[in-house]
């Protein structure tokens, strides 16, 4: 059944209750220097992601989507404003993100080991995540042996193994064909449903955006939000 489109607005969406908030940006800006010039990638953004939200972050290349996602994840710091987070965050990147020298299960277990999880538990959780995504047969394969779709599904398994409360995906289907893109999105949504996690996906793909309940649009570093669909 089709969903009615939502009219974009610059008005703030209703603020989630404090116990629901996973990340909140207040007056957040990010400026980069390019020689003597300054590029304002994100401009005075106010937004909040609450438990259970499914957000499509859309906009043209250079609009600031990836920068905002990195700020939400804590991978970058704002030039101005405040980003508040509650709970762990998992990130799925657009490009290849697997360590070439490690096999699939080692790649999935690596973030757990770096976080201090004992090796037996890390391997067990990695194997369980791969099995859930029907990737158990690739556990011993090196990344070079994987297709693009398989590599992105392994990246989703790595997030699933970490059990985050918030998953951020930066153009996760940007380098995939339609069939693989659809499969990766299905896997990603199923994974966050299993975790009970919130999800924010930056994407150019309207087919991906249509799978998510809330639409945020960026243009020239400014965030405009639509009501949930």
Taking only the tens place, the pLDDT of each residue in 6-20 is 333 333 444 444 458
Domains of the chain, residue spans: 10-226
Residue 37 confidence (pLDDT) above 70: yes
Q: Is residue 53 within 8 Å of residue 59, measured between CB atoms?
A: no
What integer pLDDT is reported at residue 19 of this predicted model?
52
What integer pLDDT is reported at residue 55 of this predicted model?
96
- Could you give the CA distance from residue 95 to residue 75 in angstroms, rounded to a whole number? 16
For domain 10-226, the question of CATH label 3.40.50.300 is answered with yes
Tell the burial category of 221 from Cβ atoms under 10 Å away from its Cβ (0-12, 13-18, 19+): buried
Quote the percentage of the chain above a pLDDT of 70. Answer: 90
Residue 120 confidence (pLDDT) above 70: yes
Structure token digits, residue 27:
């007056």
Residue 131 CB contacts under 8 Å (≥ 6 apart), including other chains:
none
pTM given for the model: 0.84
Closest to 156 (Cα-Cα) out of 113, 92, 76: 92
Q: What angle do CA 1, 160, 101 make, to 5 degrees?
A: 125
């Amino acid at each position: 059944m089709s969903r009615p489109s939502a009219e974009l607005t610059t008005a703030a969406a209703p603020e989630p209750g404090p116990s629901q908030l996973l990340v909140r940006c207040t007056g957040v800006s990010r400026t980069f220097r390019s020689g003597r010039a300054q590029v304002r990638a994100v401009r005075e953004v106010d937004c909040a992601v609450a438990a259970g939200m499914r957000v499509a972050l859309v906009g043209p290349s250079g609009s600031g989507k990836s920068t905002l996602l990195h700020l939400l994840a804590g991978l970058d710091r704002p030039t101005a404003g405040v980003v508040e987070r509650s709970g762990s965050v998992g990130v799925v990147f657009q490009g290849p993100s697997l360590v070439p020298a490690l096999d699939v299960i080692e790649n999935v277990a690596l973030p757990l080991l770096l976080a201090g999880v004992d090796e037996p538990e890390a391997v067990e959780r990695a194997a369980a995540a791969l099995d859930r995504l029907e990737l158990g047969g690739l556990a011993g394969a090196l990344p070079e042996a994987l297709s693009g779709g398989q590599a992105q599904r392994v990246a989703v398994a790595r997030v699933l193994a970490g059990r985050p409360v918030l998953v951020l995906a930066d153009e996760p289907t940007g380098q995939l064909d339609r069939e693989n893109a659809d499969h990766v999105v299905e896997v990603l949504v199923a994974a966050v449903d299993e975790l009970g996690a919130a999800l924010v996906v930056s994407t150019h793909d309207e087919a991906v955006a249509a799978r998510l309940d809330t639409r945020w649009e960026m243009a020239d570093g400014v965030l405009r939000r639509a009501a949930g669909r």
